Amino acid sequence: MSGTARGDFPSRPAARLAGLTDRARRLADRTHPRSTAERTLDLVLGTALLALTYPAVAAAALALKARRTPGGAWDRRPRSGLDGRVFELRTLRTLRFRLNLLSRLPHVVRGDLALVGPAPLPPGDPRITGPGARRWRRELRPGLTGLAQVRARSGMPWDDPALLDQHYAEHHGVVLDLAILAEAARTPLRDRLRKARRTKAHLSDADHRPPACGRVD
C-alpha cells in the first residue's frame, strides 16, 4: 500500500515490524512497575498477532477508503500513556470482527499500549489529573483490552470499571494477563453461539409446514 498516510499499515510490513520491535525493546529497558515478563508477552504476542491480522486490517482500511468514509479510514485521538506521555491513538473506523481493536496492535509493539491494562484516557481526564487520581494510572501502560472491559459485559453491579482497574493495578502479572486475553477472545465467540442457538430455538418443524398441513376438517 504505497502512499498511505501516517498511521496506516505500510507497504513493507516486514520492515515496519522490525522497526517497531527495535523501538519496543528500547522502551522495555526502562524501569517501570510492569515486569519484564509482561512486556515480553506484549512484544512477542503483539508482534505475532500484528503479523497475522495485517492482511485483514489492510483490506478493511482499503475498503473504508474506497467508500470515502467520513473522517477517513483511521480515527486519531490523543491519549495519555505511560508516565503521562501523550500519544496519538490510531484506530480503524470499523467494528466488524473486532478489527478496530486489532488495528491498535502497532501501538502494543511500539510500547504505547499493553495487551492488557486500563482503558486509554484522553489527556486532562479527571481520572488522571483530579484530586482522587491514582498514581498507578501513570505507572501502567493503557491496554488494548483489560479487566474492566471484559467484566463490563457481565452486567453485575459490582463490576465498576474504576474498581476493576484498581484491582488489575494491584494484581497485574502474566497469569492474569493471559486469563483476561482468553476471556476477551472467548466472549465474542460465546455471544455468537448463544445468538445462533436462540435463532435455532425459534424455529420448529411446524414453521416449515404448508398452510394446510395438520389441519383437521
H/E run at residue 134? none
Domain that holds residue 49: 13-192
* pLDDT tens sequence across 90-144: 999 988 778 999 999 999 999 999 999 999 999 988 888 777 677 888 888 999 9
Residue 151 lies in a domain: yes
All 3 cell numbers of residue 58?
Answer: 489492510
pTM for the model: 0.71
Distance between CA atoms of 46 and 61, rounded to whole angstroms? Answer: 20
* pLDDT tens sequence across 152-180: 765 555 668 888 888 899 999 999 999 99
Residue 50 lies in a domain: yes
Residue 84 lies in a domain: yes
* pLDDT tens sequence across 196-216: 566 555 554 445 455 555 554
* pLDDT tens sequence across 60-78: 999 999 998 888 899 999 9
Residue 209 lies in a domain: no
C-alpha R_g of the chain = 21
Q: Is the pLDDT of residue 4 over 90?
A: no
CA-angle at 140, arms to 36 and 178, nearest 5°? 60
How many structural domains is the chain composed of? 1
Higher-confidence residue: 23 or 57?
A: 57
Residue 2 lies in a domain: no
Distance between CA atoms of 121 and 141, rounded to whole angstroms? Answer: 11
Residue 89 lies in a domain: yes
Q: Are 89 and 78 in contact (CB under 8 A)?
A: yes
Residue 203 lies in a domain: no
CA-angle at 33, arms to 38 and 173, nearest 5°? 35
Query: C-alpha distances in angstroms, 26 versus 44, 67, 120, 170?
Result: 15, 39, 22, 25
Report pLDDT for 139.
86
Q: Are 162 and 146 in contact (CB under 8 A)?
A: no
* Surface-to-core class of residue 172, CB atoms within 10 Å of its CB (0-12 exposed, 13-18 middle, 19+ buried): buried
Residue 200 lies in a domain: no
